[in-house]
Amino acid sequence: MLHRYPKRVAIIMLVLTALVATFPLWGEAAFGNQANFMLEKLTFMLILALFAMSLDLLVGVLGLVSLGHALFFGLGAYTLALASPDFSPASMWWMLPLVMGISACVGLLIGVLVIRTKGIFFIMTTLAFGQMLYYFVSTSRFAGGTDGVFIMFRPSLAIGESTLLDLDNPYSFFYFCLGMLLIGYLFLRWLTRSYFGQVLDGIHDNEHRMQALGYATGGYKLIAFVISGVMAAIAGMLAAMQYGFANPAQLGWHTSGEVLMMLILGGMGTIFGPILGAFAYEILLYLYEHATTHWPILMGLTIIVAVLVLPRGIAGLIIAPPWQRKRIMNAEAHETENAPATASAQPVTQSKED
Amino acid sequence: MRDEIVLATHGLTRRFGGLVAVNGVDFDVKSNEIHAILGPNGAGKSTLINLLSGEMPPSEGQVLYRNQPIQGKNSRQIARMGIGRSHQKTNIFPRLNCLQNCELAARIHMGGVFGSWRSRQTAREVSERALEVLDTCHLIHRAYTTASDMSYGEQRQLQIAMVLATAPSLMLLDEPMAGMGREETAQVTELLASLTDRYTLVLIEHDMDSVFRLADRITVMVDGCVLESGPTEQIRTSEQVRDVYLGRHDKGATA
């Protein structure tokens, strides 16, 4: 069933999460004095995973390919940079809602216009909006032009006088990002399995039929667009917190293209796939950059091979490994022959294939 | 209430540039009847259904549903008024299973899309409704099968089940038996025959045996115009209709 996967997916993801979460314990033993640099890389991978996952709601689940998703990533970064006080840290308690609120408003505004389009036109209009904001920001004095804006203090997470989590500490920040990624993942997992998610699947499969059934598909697409944008903005805010600046490059189409490649590499429409894709992309990038100055050629070849060999990305490899595909097909044929004569009345979206 | 007119058209016309696909069509559908529309390829049958279901606006004329004009409304609005339709080409959600396909259809009319914020009662009712229509359409044993894994005939039946799940008062079925084998055709004919006491049906179909078995009244269309309309027996014995189907139709006679 759609959005329900074999148990090994959960096992692999849990093992990987445990491996990442325990990095501070084994990082130094594995990487020596490079451990801090690796922690920083790993933190950035978590942020990119959240960004890629947000795009998956739009591209993989809803079937709308966007080339302007970096708009929200950059918007989150700039909101943090411009709203942060110069001489004291902002509070995360209002910064996070502010980033979410502004990105939701912008998402709503852009969404109303772009969801009327489909296919290549959706790609082009999202690209156009992304580039518009890119040029606006890179030529505006208040946004620091092409230099961007520096963030002097990371926001603090405190109740009253006591600090809940010291976000200036790289380890604490790492766990904060991991927490945000987990919350994002659980939210999207719940959303895609809900009735609302089923409507999005229906729109992906056959929007015309959904309209003929009586669904106002535009409204559902708009909600998904806004949710996706808000999540990307949170990722952008985290990226700005990590590196201490917001830069026009975060808004540009290169960033949108990169995150789309992470999605293709990881496996679209699976929610967990983009997380793997973001990690795989960043690890490959690191290796290629250190191997040759012509690394974009290697990366390009990797994406081409991935598309040809793994059409459902790394996620597809886990969901249906090649050596199991034949067995699964035989089992399905057998199941069809022996299908039960009756089915019980239970909401299918909440059935027990977890 | 069997003779109550549910749907009527007056001078319904649709032009595509210079081509008049539907030309001044007047016909009506009475409550709980099966009204079949016959005609050779290109007669304008599917265009007529598209005009009735709001998928395209008419160039001229009027469509009255329960005495209310509905021309100009879009397909979503018309679907929500209780007019369900199935398409000539198989039009389902291939990645979802059979039950989910019907649930999607049922839910829009029963509520509960944002199910997590609403009572579980609605969710149960939607599932029960979906299972009920799957049972009616002899697909209950395929409830948890992904739609794309089903046979062509089953997919066609699923399409009818989805229309039923919306609890329509009027169903527009565009060639529900297209491409089916003899056995599957017989099964769908039986299914449609069993629906007449609860639903009003407008049926486009090429399978003459099924049409003559099922229909209470038939409207025959040629070149976008109504050639003849009346009870099944009248159409069966009509010289004019026979000429059209045996290829002896003279275009001047329809004008």
Residues of A in contact with B131 (CB under 8 A): 343, 345
Nearest by CB to residue A347, choosing from B94, B123, B143, is B123
Q: Note whether residue B238 is domain-resident.
A: no
Average pLDDT rounded to a whole number, residues A33-40: 92
Nearest by CB to residue B112, choosing from A195, A216, A348, is A195
DSSP one-letter code for B9: E
With residue B15 as reference, give the H or E element that holds it.
strand B5-16
pLDDT at A287: 94
The residue type at A281:
Y
Cα A174 to Cα A117: distance, rounded to the nearest angstrom: 39
Percentage of residues in chain A having pLDDT higher than 90: 67
Q: Note whether residue B78 is domain-resident.
A: no
The residue type at B149:
D
CB contact set of A15 (below 8 Å; sequence gap of 6+): none
To probe the interface with B, which of A189, A193, A213, A217 has the most B CB atoms within 10 Å?
A213
Q: Is pLDDT of B239 > 90?
A: no
To probe the interface with A, which of B85, B97, B108, B126 has the most A CB atoms within 10 Å?
B108
Span B97-129, pLDDT tens digits: 999 999 999 988 887 666 545 567 788 889 999
pLDDT at B255: 37
Count chain A–chain B contacts defined by CB atoms under 8 A.
117
Beta bridge partners of A194: none
CB contact set of B65 (below 8 Å; sequence gap of 6+): B6, B7, B78, B81, B83, B170
Q: Note whether residue B110 is domain-resident.
A: yes
Average pLDDT rounded to a whole number, residues A202-212: 91
Please indicate whether, in this complex, the C-beta atoms of A212 and B109 are within 8 angstroms of each other.
Answer: no
Q: Is A40 left (phi over 0), alpha (psi -120 to 50) or beta?
A: alpha
> How many helices (DSSP H) and strands (DSSP E) are in chain A?
14, 4
Span A94-122, pLDDT tens digits: 999 999 999 999 999 999 999 999 889 99
Span B185-226, pLDDT tens digits: 888 888 888 888 888 999 998 888 888 889 999 999 999 999
A330 band by pLDDT with thresholds 50, 70 and 90? low
**Domains observed in chain A:** 7-332 (1.10.3470)
B3 band by pLDDT with thresholds 50, 70 and 90? confident
pLDDT, averaged across chain A: 89
Q: A135-147 burial, b if ≥16 CB within 10 A, otherwise e? A: eebbeeeebbeee
Range of the domain at B140: 92-167
Nearest by CB to residue B96, choosing from A194, A201, A343, is A201
Number of independent structural domains in chain B: 1
When mean pLDDT is compared over A233-237, B18-22, B171-175, the highest value belongs to A233-237
ipTM over 0.90: no
φ/ψ of residue B172, rounded to 5: -110, 110
Q: Note whether residue B151 is domain-resident.
A: yes
Closest CA to A272 of A6, A24, A1: A6
Cα A204 to Cα A58: distance, rounded to the nearest angstrom: 10
Q: Is pLDDT of B247 > 70?
A: no
Average pLDDT rounded to a whole number, residues B249-253: 49
Q: Give the residue on B whose Cα is nearest the Cα of A61.
A: B95
pLDDT at A341: 44
Residues of B in contact with A346 (CB under 8 A): 124, 127
**Which stretches of chain A sit within 8 Å of chain B by CB?**
1-2, 190, 194-196, 198-199, 201-202, 204-206, 208-216, 332, 336, 339-343, 345-350
- CA–chain centroid gap for A52, Å, is 3
Q: Note whether residue B10 is domain-resident.
A: no
Closest CA to A65 of A56, A75, A74: A56
Residues of A in contact with B143 (CB under 8 A): 343, 348
Residue by residue, what is the 3-state secondary structure of A232-291?
Answer: HHHHHHHHHHHHCEECHHHCCHHHHHHHHHHHHHHCCCCCHHHHHHHHHHHHHHHHHHHH
What angle, 0 to 180 degrees and rounded to 10, lies between the N-to-C axes of helices A70-83 and A253-266?
120
Query: Would the pTM count as exceeding 0.90?
Result: no
Q: Note whether residue B133 is domain-resident.
A: yes
With residue A199 as reference, give the H or E element that holds it.
helix A195-213
Span A59-87, pLDDT tens digits: 999 999 999 999 999 999 999 999 988 88
Span A124-182, pLDDT tens digits: 999 999 999 999 999 988 888 888 899 888 888 888 878 888 888 999 999 999 999 99
Q: Note whether residue B130 is domain-resident.
A: yes
Q: Note whether residue B111 is domain-resident.
A: yes
A340 band by pLDDT with thresholds 50, 70 and 90? very low
pLDDT at B70: 93
- CA–chain centroid gap for A343, Å, is 37
B2 band by pLDDT with thresholds 50, 70 and 90? low
pLDDT at A87: 82
